[in-house]
Structure 1
């Protein structure tokens, strides 16, 4: 906990050395990619609700849930980042609400990847039972379970926060910027967060790896559709990559803590901005890019909606010119 507070204090102190121009520059560097990725994700979400084939397929319903969680996480992370850049200090209840929502959406992603991997496993290894097992009702139930498990962990964190003697504080106004580190109050809360994160990602890795091995074994069977098995295998590999990128966000704070001990404060803040874009912003758009480009069903619809606005602007420009 001491090292976490050291990291946060360095961020706070380092921000004081940044001038207005530099803060605007770094906020633009993070905000522009975030806006672009947000537009892509929202377009992807709209695409997945535009046709019945997407709304009635379990695979695309799970993808929609993953994109909702990633988009919410990206938005909340960027909001807290901009509040820190603007040197806005929140009250503990408001910051706690933002942090808990960010943690909730962050934990939904790996669990959703697990369900999506199991769906691909059933599609390849038990194709005759796929329509019976992977129904719309069962998919909705799986999504509810995913959000319930994530919400249960958030509830435990809230209960741990209630043990902190907030009544002894002179004010509920935070002295530091709102962040996940700032809300890890006490060793028990920190230990719980690490234990739960380790359990989720180890379990998810084991499940996705086992489904990948199962698909590999099924691909050698003469009765299995080779093309379908190959696509499912590649999809599961991408799920492992996505899981690894999600895990990298949990390593963000330890990396910053280690770096803060060896570099100057201003260098630390600049490095933090780069890591923030690479670890938090970019992975949240990866799902849209992967499925939007790879999936032959989604690709035409996604490209149509992405390019539609450009075509409208071109037409309006030509009409104005005439």
Structure 2
């Protein structure tokens, strides 16, 4: 998960290669995009708490959990971006708190996608048992388990940080911009991060892919609702796309390293800024766009709230 915030440090560290006008333009692009996405997510979160139907349906409860994690992640990422752009250095405890919280929400998002995919699989393949398997209680337990896994990951990271001799430092003030990479104070932290990221995304990919295959097989059965199965297939495909975007924003650093060798410096920095908006910010607003447009129950309520806010 460490590489997900490395884009922020790379972009801000290389702004010196751009002119003042381009710096203002790129900063405005990223900040305005983030504000728009945060506004959409905020309205979507409010919409999901505006009706009893949304509060008592497992699918919408899971969607709320996903949107909440994505919104927090987006806000924290933009905060770190603004801090780095302003050339502000933080202390190790403050930076550690911000990056650990960002890592927590980064873990929650793919795990929530897995549970949402399994819920769609049960709805299509076991429609008669759906109400007994996917209950509010079971959904709550699943959400607690998701946050527990993310918290356990953070606890492990903190324990690895304790091995670093901070007392040997002259000051707890950081000399570099705050990022996950700056908080890697030992090789074990880096190795653990890579191993955890691989296990997380491989497991999530297998779970969502298996759910998709199961729904396709069930769709061929005569007893299955074809329309429901087709819609579930499309939803699972979108979940796979989301997971791929989450993964690309997490492990993009090797790609950037290769691009830096073949591109001019100024071109490379421009690509970094566009990448930050399209691959890092946009996926965390994708759930609101997907469900806000496709879901027949959410769409009219969401449009009503959006129109009221715009007025």
Q: Report the TM-score range of the alignment, normalised by the length of the smaller protein.
A: over 0.9
Task: Give 1:172 deviation, angstroms.
Answer: 1.1
Task: Give 1:239 deviation, angstroms.
Answer: 0.7
> In the alignment, is the contact (CA less than 8 A) between 1:10 and 1:265 conserved in 2?
no
User: Residue 14 of structure 2: SS of its match in structure 1?
Assistant: helix
> In the alignment, is the contact (CA less than 8 A) between 2:110 and 2:204 conserved in 1?
yes
Is 1:174 aligned to 2:174, yes or no?
yes
User: Residue 65 of structure 2: SS of its match in structure 1?
Assistant: helix
Aligned equivalent of 2:66: 66
Aligned equivalent of 2:211: 211
User: Residue 164 of structure 1: SS of its match in structure 2?
Assistant: coil
Q: Equivalents in 1 of 2:106, 2:38: separation in Å?
A: 16
Normalised TM-score (structure 1): 0.90
Aligned equivalent of 1:50: 50
Task: Give 1:247 deviation, angstroms.
Answer: 0.5
Is 1:294 aligned to 2:268, yes or no?
no
Per-residue CA deviations over 1:23-47 (Å, capped at 9, x if unaligned) read 3222101001110110000000000
Q: Equivalents in 2 of 1:264, 1:90: separation in Å?
A: 31
Aligned equivalent of 1:25: 25
Aligned equivalent of 1:315: none
Task: Give 1:254 deviation, angstroms.
Answer: 2.5
Q: Equivalents in 1 of 2:14, 2:57: separation in Å?
A: 49
Q: Equivalents in 1 of 2:25, 2:108: separation in Å?
A: 32
Aligned equivalent of 1:82: 82
Aligned equivalent of 1:107: 107
Q: Equivalents in 1 of 2:62, 2:246: separation in Å?
A: 17
> In the alignment, is the contact (CA less than 8 A) between 1:8 and 1:181 conserved in 2?
no
Task: Give 1:162 deviation, angstroms.
Answer: 1.2
Aligned equivalent of 2:225: 225
Relative to structure 1, is the Cα distance of residues 237 and 10 closer, same or farther in structure 2, using a 3 angstrom cutoff? Answer: closer
Q: Equivalents in 1 of 2:31, 2:10: separation in Å?
A: 22
Relative to structure 1, is the Cα distance of residues 80 and 13 closer, same or farther in structure 2, using a 3 angstrom cutoff? Answer: closer
Which structure 1 residue ranges, 5 or more long, are not aligned?
313-322
Which structure 2 residue ranges, 5 or more long, are not aligned?
none
Relative to structure 1, is the Cα distance of residues 94 and 295 closer, same or farther in structure 2, using a 3 angstrom cutoff? Answer: same
Aligned equivalent of 2:119: 119
Task: Give 1:9 deviation, angstroms.
Answer: 8.6
Q: Equivalents in 2 of 1:158, 1:64: separation in Å?
A: 28
Aligned equivalent of 2:259: 259
Per-residue CA deviations over 1:156-184 (Å, capped at 9, x if unaligned) read 11111111111111111111111122112
Question: Which structure has the larger Rg?
Answer: 1
Q: Equivalents in 2 of 1:13, 1:246: separation in Å?
A: 23
Relative to structure 1, is the Cα distance of residues 93 and 237 closer, same or farther in structure 2, using a 3 angstrom cutoff? Answer: same
Relative to structure 1, is the Cα distance of residues 140 and 10 closer, same or farther in structure 2, using a 3 angstrom cutoff? Answer: closer
Q: Equivalents in 2 of 1:194, 1:214: separation in Å?
A: 30
Aligned equivalent of 1:148: 148
Relative to structure 1, is the Cα distance of residues 10 and 44 closer, same or farther in structure 2, using a 3 angstrom cutoff? Answer: closer
Q: Equivalents in 1 of 2:39, 2:254: separation in Å?
A: 31
Task: Give 1:223 deviation, angstroms.
Answer: 1.1
> In the alignment, is the contact (CA less than 8 A) between 1:114 and 1:204 conserved in 2?
yes
